[in-house]
Amino acid sequence: MCSTSKTSKLAYCIKGTFVHSTDSSPMEILQDHIMGVNSNGKIEFFENARKQVELAKKWRFSESDIRELGSHEFCMPGMVDTHIHASQYSFSGTALDLSLLDWLDKYTFPTERKYKEAEFAKTIYSSIVRRTLRNGTTTACYFATIYTDSSLLLAEIANNYGQRAFVGKVCMDINNCAANYKETTDESIAETERFIKEFLERKYCRVKPIITPRFAVSCSEELLQELGELAKIHGTHIQSHISEAVGEVESVKTLFPNYKHYTDVYDKSKLLTDKTVMAHGCYLSDEELAIFRERGAAISHCPNSNISLCSGHLDVRKVLKHKVKIGLGTDVAGGYCSSMLDAIRRAIDTSKVLYIQYELGISMINNALLGQSVPGRYDSTVYKMGQKIDCSFLHTGSSHSNQQTMPTSKTFSIQKEKYTALSYKEAFRLATLGGSQALNIDDVTGNFQIGKEFDAILVSPCVPGGPFDVFADDTFEDVVQKFLNLGDDRNIKGVYVAGQQVVPLPNA
């Protein structure tokens, strides 16, 4: 049950270094600060420690109420995994040899079918909730399976461990529904209604239901529209997949010939709202991103999955340019790692790959061939798939040019735009504040703004047998960067959700 009192007392203070993001800065490092957390789990004050005496008088705390961090230790906001399949955790780290649609048929659907069994579900769901919490994921947006009862069990487990979460019962009624892993349209709608009703009766404080059409390839027009209605009636969040892989985009064109594009399919079903998070979006056009922006819908960037299933790359810069909300997701088990630290690293890697491609001109050529606009072009032509273009303006005389493979019947002029890869600070913001914005919970969590709930990780960079070393010359920025690039759960000494310490785990 969710209980918050109108009057709140100070519960405890933390003193030391805090690292977080704001709208104006991807990373602020605030050394020698003191934070007060109240009995409702909210941040009551956050000030320079110079003000400790004054604050102690006002809030009536003594030295013994303060938890003082060690010299290299710091607190950062808990990470927000905006897209993770709890039900796929059992095979994470395996089965990465196929592309999306075949991967779903061969590995994913047969595994998800097992969640009809409550005992099996309980084992895997407990493991993923424990694992993600240990890795510092304070908020997770989960896909479960088509089975209502075991999806409700995932919600109960997340609630029991104190994780903030969205949990979705998956809906799918057409195609790619391997034998015994499908529902009729009516079943899917009725079970989603039951899921929401029983979920809301449990009155969890920080675990919420989310409407979950798997993706347009496995949902009929009728199901999508009914789910859009249900989301409207109950005011629930919505999650799905969009434009992840070329084969999937092509299937959607065939299945929904009367729609302008993939985004239009969801938009016409009222599934794009300011409480929607869509995973991937690698192949969204400028026009589609403009619709996302208008609706306030968000994208979950899942770089590990995009690389592991050879789906494509999301251009985060392009999404940010369109002012579309964006967070990071692990997308277990298309993504093989359940740690958001991995999502940060892969997001940077992907961005660097795009930088290399831009430098070589490859990305521009690929975009042109996919019928999308070409960044920095002078003309306004949108080149169609397979259209012949002359790429000789790129790398004239360079051995890196792929002009040999390009037909040369049409010429267009292009000015190369400068492309900047994501910095580790920007990736840190995506994993924390960005994720909370994507899930539309940034009024509650995502950074250390006064009044938000204290969702945080206590990081201890120097642990015996830890994954990296800190040297005397390292600045605090270096230490933070080392943790983001090299750290793991050995460095995560404590995890807090709404002021409650949830890691170390019970029975760890």
Residue number, 38 or 305, with CB nearest to ligand XAN: 305
Among positions 220-279, residues that touch Zn ion (CB under 5 A) are 279
Those residues with Cβ within 8 angstroms of residue 227's Cβ, 6 or more apart along the chain or in another chain: 171, 189, 192, 211, 213, 219, 238, 269, 271
CA distance linking residue 46 with residue 18, whole number of Å: 10
Kindly state the number of chain residues that form the binding site for ligand XAN, as judged by CB under 6 A. Answer: 11
- 104: contact with ligand XAN by CB under 6 A: yes
- 113: contact with ligand XAN by CB under 6 A: no
CA distance linking residue 432 with residue 84, whole number of Å: 15
- 108: contact with ligand XAN by CB under 6 A: yes
Residue number, 214 or 317, with CB nearest to ligand XAN: 214
- 183: contact with ligand XAN by CB under 6 A: no
Among positions 70-89, residues that touch ligand XAN (CB under 6 A) are 85
Question: Could you say which of ligand XAN, Zn ion, none residue 215 binds, taking C-beta under 5 to 8 angstroms by partner kind?
Answer: ligand XAN
CA distance linking residue 45 with residue 270, whole number of Å: 40
- 214: contact with ligand XAN by CB under 6 A: yes
CA distance linking residue 502 with residue 506, whole number of Å: 8
- 215: contact with ligand XAN by CB under 6 A: yes
CA distance linking residue 187 with residue 384, whole number of Å: 40
Nearest alpha carbon to residue 171 among 159, 183, 163: 183
Among 137, 163, 269, 305, which residue sits at the site for ligand XAN (rule: CB under 6 A)?
305
Q: How far, rounded to the nearest angstrom, does the alpha carbon of residue 357 sit from its chain's CA centroid? A: 24
- 331: contact with Zn ion by CB under 5 A: yes
Judging by beta carbons within 10 Å of its beta carbon (0-12, 13-18, 19+), is residue 123 exposed, middle or buried?
A: exposed
Among positions 342-361, residues that touch Zn ion (CB under 5 A) are none
Residue number, 81 or 331, with CB nearest to ligand XAN: 331
Q: Which stretch binds ligand XAN (CB under 6 A): 3-11, 100-108, 339-347, 436-444?
A: 100-108
CA distance linking residue 17 with residue 232, whole number of Å: 42
Residue number, 170 or 498, with CB nearest to ligand XAN: 170
Q: What is the DSSP string of 490-504?
A: GGEEEEEETTEEEES
Minimum distance of ligand XAN from residue 202's CB (angstroms): 26
Residue number, 96 or 457, with CB nearest to ligand XAN: 96
Among positions 222-281, residues that touch ligand XAN (CB under 6 A) are 241, 244
Does the CA dihedral 130-134-138-142 come out positive or negative?
negative
- 313: contact with ligand XAN by CB under 6 A: no
Residue number, 46 or 215, with CB nearest to ligand XAN: 215
Residue number, 175 or 449, with CB nearest to ligand XAN: 175
Helix (H) or strand (E) holding 488: none
- 301: contact with ligand XAN by CB under 6 A: no
Q: Are 256 and 221 in contact (CB under 8 A)?
A: yes
Minimum distance of ligand XAN from residue 220's CB (angstroms): 15
The most distant pair of C-alpha atoms in the chain lies apart, rounded to whole Å, by 78
Whether residue 333 is preceded by a cis peptide bond, meaning omega within 30 degrees of 0, is yes
Among 173, 267, 331, 426, which residue sits at the site for ligand XAN (rule: CB under 6 A)?
331
Applying CB under 5 A, the residues found at the interface with Zn ion are: 279, 331
Applying CB under 6 A, the residues found at the interface with ligand XAN are: 85, 100, 104, 108, 214-215, 241, 244, 305, 331, 334
